[in-house]
Amino acid sequence: MQLNLENIVITGRTFEEYSAFFDLNMDDLKGKKVLDCPSGASSFVATLNKNSIQAKGVDVIYEFDKKVLEQQGIKSIEKIYKDTSWMDVYKMDFYKTKENHRFHRESALKAFIDDYNSQDYIFAKLPNLPFEDDSFDILLSSHLLFVYDDRLDFNFHKDSIVEMLRVAREVRIFPLVDFKNSRVHEVENFSPFVYKILKEFKCEIVKTDFEFQPRADCYLKISR
């Protein structure tokens, strides 16, 4: 069944945001093959490719052409920022202003659309990735796993991570809280799936300087 794009909010993050999420800079990635999974309308792959770093993105939305993705991306941004009161509970140390937060969304979308091509942006659905074993040195995954633990069950998370580790030697996942940050006041504030994954894989919880959702300032580093 084909994805109904009208029901999908298409947003993307910038390279600067990825760097903050995953505590990485351009020098860290030089000479490496990188996979962004899922990539959405982010400018991460475009930025790496412009800097001669081999990178690819995968996402379910890549079954659509550039024009359709651009139109839906613009609609999504307009919808998100029609009322910005939802940001009042968030920490703005990184973005400083609501306007700058929107600027990241808009600039990411533009760079993504300008770079969009079938070689670097590949249609795929987790937990299946169309790559050979050890195709990448590092895989970065933001705002899917753990975030939607109310609709993606634990088996999906586990199977997706197994598949990620098949194609990449190292996996980093951010953030570790659910979409609503519903456990922010609990001692163990991450998604319950995080604690189960820690028992299943060789993992490390790494604290970063990026914090937008309160106490959502860690990524999960997983290696074989």
Q: What is the pLDDT of residues 105-157, one digit of tens each?
A: 999 999 999 999 999 999 999 999 999 999 999 999 999 999 999 999 999 99
- The pLDDT of residue 1 is 44
CATH number at residue 9: 3.40.50.150
Strand 136-142 versus strand 121-123 pairing type: unpaired
Convert the pLDDT of each residue in 14-68 to its tens digit.
999 999 999 999 999 999 999 999 999 999 999 999 999 999 999 999 999 999 9
Residue 151's pLDDT is what?
A: 95
| CA dihedral (193, 159, 151, 122) positive or negative | positive
Task: Indicate the number of domains in the chain.
Answer: 1
Positions of E strands within the chain: 34-36, 55-59, 121-123, 136-142, 168-174, 202-207, 218-223
Whether residue 205 is predicted with pLDDT greater than 70 in this model: the reply is yes
Q: What is the mean pLDDT of residues 182-206?
A: 97
* pLDDT tier at 13, thresholds 50, 70, 90: very high
d(CA 211, CA 102): 17
Is the whole model's pTM more than 0.85, yes or no? yes
The tokens for 76 are 């999504």
Structure-block tokens of residue 191:
């998604």
The mean of the pLDDT values for the chain is 96
Judge whether residue 159 has pLDDT over 60: yes
Separation between Cα atoms, residue 45 and residue 30, nearest integer Å: 13
For residues 11 and 61, what is the distance between their CA atoms, to the nearest angstrom? Answer: 11
pLDDT value for 23? 96
Burial of 27 (0-12, 13-18, 19+ CB in 10 A): exposed
Q: 2 pLDDT band (50/70/90 cuts)?
A: low
Domain that holds residue 181: 5-223
Residue 3 clears pLDDT 70, i.e. is over it? no
Tokens representing 156 are 């999906």
Residues 6+ apart with CB under 8 A from 84: 98, 102
pLDDT band at 224 (very low <50, low <70, confident <90, very high): confident
CA dihedral 77, 40, 203, 22 (to 10 degrees): -60
